Amino acid sequence: MPASTQETEFVAYVLELMHPLGPIRAKRMFGGHGVFLDDLMLALIVDGILYLKTDARTQSEFTARGLNAFSYIRRNREVRLSYHQAPEEALENAEDMRLWAGKARQASLRAASGRNGK
């Protein structure tokens, strides 16, 4: 199913906010979009919500603010991924996005190196 115009516009807006980080791109996946910087997936956009990559080092910053993890139901069980909803201020200006997306990038780098925030 093709993305709605509203969804496409939101993805473009997120990419514009993240552009200062480097070569950012989106790829359709999981019924939404994966957001990549170089070859690292640092965010997920599903149903108009931006989720940023988290790990053991950063997850508490998100949960302390009441930001939920991305989850879905599979075989009647909830599956949670290590992506948490982005704070509202990250969607309001590029400087806050740079800060929060930077945390997501570091979590992605740790996951790629096998350290997963430890």
Q: What pLDDT does 44 receive? A: 97
State the pLDDT at residue 4. 76
Q: Is the pLDDT of residue 45 over 70?
A: yes
What are the boundaries of each domain within the chain? 5-111
- Please give the share of the chain, as a percent, with pLDDT higher than 70: 94
Torsion-angle region of 23 (φ positive above 0: left; ψ -120 to 50: alpha; else: beta): beta
CATH fold label, 5-111: Yope Regulator; Chain: A, (3.30.1460)
pLDDT-based confidence at 2, cuts 50/70/90?
low
